[in-house]
Amino acid sequence: MWGRRWAWLVAWACVAGGLSGCDRQSSGNRARTGFAARPQALEFGPAAIGSTKTVKLRVANEGRAPLRVEGASSSVPNVEIAPFEPFSLSAGGEAELEVRFSPAVEGTVQGVVDILTDADSDGAAGSQVNFAGQGVKAWVEVRSQELDFGNVALDTVQVLTLRLRNSSRVESPLRLRMAGADADQFSSSTAGPELMLQPGEEQALPIAFKPRRLGVASAEVSVEVCEGCAPIAVPLKGMGIASQLDISPLRVDFGNVALGATAEERIMVRNLGTSPMSYQGARLLEGAGEFRLLSAVVPPGGVLNPGQAAEIRVAFAPSRLGALPEARVEIDVKATGSAAPAPKVALSGEGGSSCVTVLPRALDLGGVAEGMSATREVKVINRCRAPVLVSDLQIDTRQGGFFTLAQAPASTPIAPGQSAAVGVTFTPRAGAGQGEAQLSVSVRSGGTTSTEAVTLKGNGKALPPCQYAVSPATLDFGRVPVGAEVVLGTSVRNTGATECYLAGLQLASGSDGAFSAPPVTGALLAPGQKAQLLVRFKPEAEASYGGLAEGWVNHPSNGHPTVNVVGEGVKGCFAVQPTHLEFGLSQLTCAPRTQDVIAYNGCAGPLTVQGLQVQQDSAEFQLSEVPTFPVTLEAGGQFRLRATYAPENEGVDAAALRFELGPDSIYTASLLGKGVSKAEQTDTFFQESEAKVDVLFVVDNSGSMMEEQQSLGSNFAAFLSSANTAGVDYHIGVTTTGLDASPGGWSACLGGAEGGENGRLFPVDGASPRVITPTTPNASSVFAHNTQVGVCHWNEQGLEAAYRALSQPLLHNTDDPRTAQAADGNGGFLREDARLALIFLTDEEDFSPQPVAFYETYFRALKNNEASKLSVSAIVGPTNLSTCVTASSSGARYIQLAEATGGVVESICTPNWAESLKKLSSNTFGPNRSFPLSEQPENPSQISVTVDGVPVTSGWHYNPDTRAILFEAQAAPPPGALVEVTYPLGC
């Protein structure tokens, strides 16, 4: 108490008396500085491995003299301070530093941040701030094991949800990707960009299935949680059906048909329902080429009764060799009152001399050393519908050596869809050089025989004896747990100054079945070049295994190198996981790839790992975070290594990790990767020449919307300005934000639904045309009438109304089967080949039941996920409501959807309705300006664009959010233009 009072009195005396030297109690006349940091300790908390968590550190000068902050450093590598230039702090001044924590492993990380200053409050030149953080694994629990969409009619959309939960204590980033044979039929608006799940958060992400083809569709959606982590794959499946129709086959493949011949097939159409169907035959769509429609008999009255079938006959008469462009048959069959698109059956076929294909058509055996030979295979593939017989094989050698059959030319039967191999051997003639020949393959199919010819080439070379090295001398897999797999390589490298000829590498006959290896075919090896045989070892039992790898090179006395292959299958308590690290393809220009390896002690007591070796031919693989050996692991203990793959040149690279537990106890793990050169991608687009656009207005019918409805209806001409200029074929319909009828209010709604259109086009009672087209009489008056939807409702659900308007049962039916009104369906409004534009008009937020992502996914899938086929615009309450005091609330959900689809957002308080509608018109009816890229560009600055072959360097930019090329309005490609976008692929 006394000490504090004394310090206060001294300070007061200094102030009152102006005594010199009171600023500082120590010697000298310089004012005192004082450095402080807040908080005094940094707590990062849990952070996901592989991510970066950032906190702010405030530094302050609590003295009376300026101080200078020169720099900062961290005591551990996982924590860093964002770079900054040295700066000064005046008395009382503050500044903010950014400190980043990027954990690489699980566990607690602690240390200090040193901040170097010239402060002398404590007599030192620096200050320290303690920090602590914890690295944890981000994890997302996928609660959906499989998404089965069941039977879905063609050109309709079914949406299911993928349920995910973040069970960890940190934010978990994730990405969704679609893959598989039928991935084009599944989609999600959430696929592609990174999503973030908060700790404990659960989300239901929408997945859409829109069948484009009849039959089973299968794909998978992979959930990628972190880079390098194995994605979680969720199977997707569904069945595309034609409602109550059975169409068989779903695809007609004529196979390989001889030139000049004609093949015929039939398509059967059956009515499996209980009601008659309209059937008017079939037609070939444009571009049929060599395909023809022979007959499509229409039953009496054009009606296909229940249980009745109709036959369609099609033919294929190829006029040129090879696979020809597919054609489609459109079958004019539909249920009564349905406006669903007609089902289509694909036709495919190839032109050839027979329905048997011989590949390759030209076989080059390459350079072969004189005195040796090379053997390659020609495949004879039976694409006929019946067995064929390879009846004759002949080789006609024309120059430069000997071409022979590797087997006797016996007759060989080939079942439908199967193939047979024909071996051809080239043996050079001394001094003859280039060799040429022709292989003739005669095939009998039924009573017809056809002959296919294959050109053969080979080049004899006089080479000095090959100087080579085999590595390793013994391919020793060491100890591998039973059931695990390890891949190691043995290589032959040309160590001389001239070419070597390697006739082949393979596992010798008699090697144990635990070893397997695809053979390496013969090739010339340039000086320094190697050929590598990759051998897989997967022991099935506790035992010792052996084998032999062998090769052949051009050397008179040492031309048959061999390598012993040994390994041991064990069941022990020490384990390495994974036993095989597959790095896959890695571009030479990309950053190195990394994976972790963990060594476990599953024994009941301590275990000592004496050492670790990396065996490889070069230095493409590197290890980091390697402990100092020997390492003793307690029971249940483990240590982690990080393997890095940085290929230096093209080709396959392999390495072995040897964990030494004792002289006779070495466990092995393997590393494998392949270096490739950087590739380019070119995406091709065609600008529409005759645009079709379907426009759906969703108009708020609540009590505050009377004036806005009138403004919309009276400016129809402004909205059609771009449509009339471009000659667009449009369909324009209107529905309301009301789902349920709202009778008895202060104001009645006309149209026959009492404000509850529930997605049906207005007016439900058909008092005026419900779909406006370029041929609609008095279209402006009709539009003005249709937008006066009334002001009787109170519950605005615009997104749900649009969804219901464009889904079953309204989408393809001219009558809604759920209501008593006649002809109140929306069938015929939406066209398969038209763009879709949704325009929302409301002064209130959307209160639809589903998240915005659900509706975005559905609308995108409805247009086959072609970004140029969908736009959503909104005239709503703006984000800043101070500019629009009459709006009840901001239309944030509408704005979100509009921005996601490249639409236009205008304020409901717009002072110029005509100008606002012209903007919507340009976006709705103008030429396509957005062209989405199929892959991620490595460097957007290297993107090149051509229109009709002419480079375009201005008037467009790359949008990384949508991964698309976006043209300016005045620079949009003209109708019919070919747009090509070329860019380097990313890593």
Confidence bin at 868 (pLDDT 50/70/90): confident
The conformation of residue 660, written as its DSSP 8-state character, comes to: E
Peptide bond into 465 cis (omega under 30): no
Write down the pLDDT at residue 17.
37
Once rounded to an integer, what is the mean pLDDT over residues 515-540? 92
Q: Model confidence over 479-505: pLDDT tens digits? A: 998 878 899 999 999 999 999 999 999
Write down the pLDDT at residue 768.
94
Residue (of 731, 724, 725, 728) closest to 691 by Cα position: 728
CATH no. of 463-572: 2.60.40.10
Most confident of 108-122, 307-321, 918-932: 307-321
* Contact status, residue 887 vs residue 877, Cβ threshold 8 Å: yes
Element (H, E) at 899: helix 892-900
Q: Model confidence over 549-582: pLDDT tens digits? A: 999 999 999 999 999 999 999 988 888 888 888 8
Give CA–CA dist 738/753, Å, rounded: 10
Give CA–CA dist 969/971, Å, rounded: 6
* The CATH number of domain 574-678, selected from 3.40.50.300, 3.30.420.280, 3.40.50.280, 2.60.40.10: 2.60.40.10
- The answer to whether residue 228 scores a pLDDT higher than 60 is no
- β-pairing, 419-427 vs 978-984, is unpaired
- The answer to whether residue 342 scores a pLDDT higher than 60 is yes
Confidence bin at 6 (pLDDT 50/70/90): very low
Write down the pLDDT at residue 4.
30
| DSSP string computed for 323-353 | E---EEEEEEEEETTB-PPPPEEEEEEEEES
Q: Model confidence over 249-280: pLDDT tens digits? A: 878 877 767 665 677 788 999 888 788 989 99
Confidence bin at 975 (pLDDT 50/70/90): low
Give CA–CA dist 37/86, Å, rounded: 16
Write down the pLDDT at residue 688.
64
* Contact status, residue 670 vs residue 707, Cβ threshold 8 Å: no
Write down the pLDDT at residue 226.
65
* Count of Cβ atoms closer than 10 Å to residue 417 Cβ: 11
Q: Model confidence over 926-973: pLDDT tens digits? A: 778 888 887 778 889 999 999 877 899 999 999 887 788 989 877 888
Once rounded to an integer, what is the mean pLDDT over residues 178-182? 86
Confidence bin at 125 (pLDDT 50/70/90): very low
The fold of the 140-241 domain, in CATH, is: Immunoglobulin-like (2.60.40)
Write down the pLDDT at residue 8.
29
Write down the pLDDT at residue 384.
59
The fold of the 687-926 domain, in CATH, is: Rossmann fold (3.40.50)
Q: Model confidence over 102-121: pLDDT tens digits? A: 887 777 788 888 899 886 54
CA diameter of the chain: 126
- The answer to whether residue 307 scores a pLDDT higher than 50 is yes
Q: Whole-prediction pTM value? A: 0.52
Give CA–CA dist 597/600, Å, rounded: 10
- The answer to whether residue 122 scores a pLDDT higher than 70 is no
Amino acid, single-letter form, for residue 578: P
What are the structure tokens assigned to 251, written together?
């695809």
Q: Model confidence over 690-749: pLDDT tens digits? A: 578 999 999 999 888 888 888 888 888 888 877 776 668 899 999 999 999 887 656 788
* Contact status, residue 208 vs residue 858, Cβ threshold 8 Å: yes
Write down the pLDDT at residue 536.
93
Residue (of 695, 732, 697) closest to 712 by Cα position: 697
Helix (H, G, I), strand (E, B) or coil at 716: helix
Considering only residues 31 and 576, tell me which one the structure prediction assigns the higher pLDDT: 576
Confidence bin at 31 (pLDDT 50/70/90): low
Give CA–CA dist 761/816, Å, rounded: 11
Q: Do domains 35-136 and 574-678 have the same CATH topology?
A: yes
Mean pLDDT of the chain: 85
Write down the pLDDT at residue 95.
92
Write down the pLDDT at residue 984.
85
So where are the chain's domains? Answer: 35-136, 140-241, 245-352, 356-461, 463-572, 574-678, 687-926, 934-984
Give CA–CA dist 848/841, Å, rounded: 15
Write down the pLDDT at residue 701.
92
Lateral strand order in the sheet of 356-359 = 356-359, 374-382, 419-427, 402-405
Give CA–CA dist 132/84, Å, rounded: 22
Write down the pLDDT at residue 725.
66
Which architecture, in CATH terms, is 356-461?
Sandwich (2.60)
* The CATH number of domain 245-352, selected from 3.60.60.10, 3.40.50.80, 2.60.40.10, 1.10.238.10: 2.60.40.10
Give CA–CA dist 198/178, Å, rounded: 23
In percent, the amount of the chain with pLDDT more than 90 equals 41
Residue carrying the six token digits 């701030």: 129
Beta bridge partners of 580: 670
CATH no. of 35-136: 2.60.40.10
Write down the pLDDT at residue 353.
53
| DSSP string computed for 926-947 | SPP-EEE-SS-BS-GGG-EEEE
Residue (of 575, 543, 549) closest to 561 by Cα position: 549
What are the structure tokens assigned to 781, written together?
């008056």
What are φ and ψ of residue 758, in 5° steps?
55, 35
Helix (H, G, I), strand (E, B) or coil at 687: coil
- The answer to whether residue 398 scores a pLDDT higher than 70 is yes
